[in-house]
Amino acid sequence: MSESAAAPATAGLPLRHPERGFVTDPLGVLQEGHRRNGPVFRMPVDGVETVLVGTWAGLGELFAAERGRLEVLNTPLVHDLFGRALFNLTAEHHGEARRRLRPALSGRALPGYVAPLLEVIGPTVDRWALHGTADLHEQVRRLTGAMSARVLLGISPGEADAARFAAAFEVFVLATGAPPGPARYADRRYWAGRSARRELHALFARRAAQAARDSADGTALAGLVAAFADAPAAAGPLEDHLLALLIAARETTASLLTWCLVELAGHREHAELAAAEARAVAADPGRLVARDALPVLRSVLAESLRLHTPNLLSMREAVCPLTLAGHRIEPGTRVAYSPSAGHFDPEVFPRPRQFRPGRFLAGQANASRLWAFGGGAHACLGRPLAELMALAVMAGALHKGLPTLPAGPPAQITFRPAKAPVDQLPFALESAS
C-alpha cells in the first residue's frame, strides 16, 4: 500500500459544493458534486450544512462505519409522532426491534401474501381497463395504502375498518408536514395527527387481539404479535412499529409503482414482453414469489428502481468522530446519503439516463449494485414486500391491457417525500387486441 493510501490524504473538512439548482434537479447537483469532489462533499440542504456521501464505493464505506458513530437524524416532530418506532430507536434496542420485525416481512413470509394482494389489486386494475384514471399517482397511493392495510393489519377493502383506517391514516400523514421544531405546537395538523395516532393505535391493538385469537391468514399481524409478546419495553411497542411500517411503505412503494407503469407506457416493446409473463402469473400466481420466474417484470422493476429511486436523501447525525473518504467528520455533523448513489455511473450502467431494462436481463448489470433500499444498520426491512407489491400490480395491470398515458408523460417532477409527478397523470390500460 502506498503512503498516500495509508494516511488520509485530505484530512479536514470536505470541499463545499454550490447547492444552486438542488430543488429542481437534485440528482444532477449531487452527481456533479461527486464528479468534482469524489465520494464526499459539503453542501447546504434545506439551509443546514450537510456532508453528502455518494458513489457506490462511498456508500459502502459509510455503511461499514455507521454503527455506533452515526444515528438516523429525526426531528422532534418525528419523535413525537412515531414514538419508539424502529427508525427512532438506537443501538441494541434498534437491533432487537429489527430482529423481531424481520421474519414477518422476509422473503419466506411472502407466499402467504400473494392471494390477498391480488384480491386487493383486482378491482383497481379492472377500473383502469374500463375507465382509466385521471391521476395514476393518487390511485397507486391509495392502492398501496390498501395493500399495506391488508398485509400488515389484515384489513380487507370492504370492511368498516378499511374506511376508519384510511381516514385516520390520512390525518396522521398530514401531520408529518407540520413544522419539525417547537413551531409544531401552533400547527393544527400536529394536534390532529396526535389524535389520529391514538385512534390508529386503538385500531391496531383491536386488530392484533383479533389476529392472535383467529390466527388470521394472509397477514403479517399474527406473527408480529407473537414476536412482540415477550419483547422488552426498550424494543418499542408493536403499535409504534406498525405505524412506522405503514408510513415507510406508502410514498416509496407508490412512487416505484408510478414509475414502473409510466415506463411500461413509454416502452411498448417491454410492456408486450412483460404482458406474456403477466398471463403466466394469472395462471399460476406463485410465480410472483418464485426466485427465477418473471425475468422481464423483474428487469423493469430493477431499471425503475435505478432510474427513479423513490427516496432522495437519508439523513444521519454523527454521534462519534468518523472518517469518510479521508475526511474526519466531527460529532454533531449532519450527514446524508442518496440511495441513487452510483445509479448513473456510465461505467456500470452504460447510457445511464435511458430506460433499458434489458441491461438487467442480459446480465450486463446486476441489481445488487443498486442502493435504492439503503444499506447498513437501517437498510429497508420492507424490500421483499415492496418488490412483491410492485410485481403484483404490474402483472395485474398488464393482464388487463397495455399501459398508456393519454396526456403524455409527467412534465414536472417532485423528489420529496418521494419521486413523483407534480400534476395529475391520466392513465389507462388499452386492450392488447
Q: What's the CA dihedral at 145, 148, 153, 155 to 10 degrees? A: 60
Q: Which CB, 256 or 402, lies closer to ligand HEM?
A: 256
Q: Does 245 bind ligand HEM (CB under 6 A)?
A: yes
- Rounded CA-CA distance 216/210 in Å is 8
Instruction: Give the nearest residue (CB) to ligand HEM.
Output: 382
Say how far apart CA 18 and CA 87 lie, in whole Å.
30
- Name which position in 54, 382, 401, 410 contacts ligand HEM (CB under 6 A): 382
Please give the Cα distance from 129 to 181 (Å, whole number). 45
Give the CA count within 13 Å in the CB-facing half-sphere of 400: 21
Binding mask 88-127 for ligand HEM (x = CB under 6 A): ----------x------x----------------------
Instruction: Specify the residue, 96 or 199, whose C-beta has the smaller distance to ligand HEM.
Output: 96
Residue whose CB is less far from ligand HEM, 129 or 226: 226
Pairing of strands 48-53, 40-45: antiparallel
Instruction: Identify the CA nearest to 61 among candidates 418, 351, 335.
Output: 335
CA 106, 107, 113, 117 torsion: positive or negative?
A: positive
Could you give the residue ranges of the DSSP H alpha helices within 20-90?
26-37, 56-65, 76-82
Residue 249 within binding range of ligand HEM, rule CB under 6 A: yes
Question: HSE-up of 338 (CA within 13 Å, CB side)?
Answer: 33
CA 364/CA 379 separation, integer angstroms: 25
Cα 94 to Cα 86: distance, rounded to the nearest angstrom: 6
Nearer to ligand HEM, 238 or 428 (CB): 238
Our CB check for ligand HEM shows the closer of 371 and 401 to be 371
Strand 322-324 versus strand 327-329 pairing type: antiparallel
- Residues 320 to 379 in contact with ligand HEM, rule: CB under 6 A: 339, 372-374, 378
Residue 125 has φ and ψ, to the nearest 5°, of: -70, -30
Q: From 6-14, 210-218, 248-256, 349-357, give the range in contact with ligand HEM by CB under 6 A.
A: 248-256
H helices present in 181-294, as ranges: 188-214, 221-228, 238-266, 268-283
Among 50, 176, 311, 333, indicate the residue that binds ligand HEM (CB under 6 A).
311
Provide, rounded to whole angstroms, the least separation between the CB of residue 185 and ligand HEM. 26
Query: Is the CB of 93 or the CB of 426 nearer to ligand HEM?
Result: 93
Give yes or no for residue 196 binding ligand HEM (CB under 6 A).
no
Please identify, using beta-carbon distances, which residue of 50 and 252 lies nearer to ligand HEM: 252
Q: Applying CB under 6 A, which of residues 62, 78, 238, 244 lies at the interface with ligand HEM?
A: 244
The footprint of ligand HEM on residues 388-417 (CB under 6 A) is none
Nearer to ligand HEM, 195 or 366 (CB): 366
Residue 200 Cβ vs ligand HEM, minimum distance, rounded to whole Å = 15
Amino acid at 265: A
Nearer to ligand HEM, 133 or 338 (CB): 338
| H-run or E-run covering 41 | strand 40-45
What is the footprint of ligand HEM within residues 256-295 (CB under 6 A)?
256
Q: Is 380 in the site for ligand HEM (CB under 6 A)?
A: yes
Residues constituting the chain? 433
Contact status: 81 vs ligand HEM (CB under 6 A): no
Could you say which of 62, 70, 86, 324 contacts ligand HEM (CB under 6 A)? 86
55, 133, 139, 253: which one binds ligand HEM (CB under 6 A): 253
Alpha-carbon distance of 175 to 210, in angstroms, equals 29
Residue 375 vs 403, nearer CB to ligand HEM: 375
Residues that bind ligand HEM (CB under 6 A): 72, 86-87, 98, 105, 244-245, 248-249, 252-253, 256, 310-311, 314, 339, 372-374, 378, 380-382, 385-386
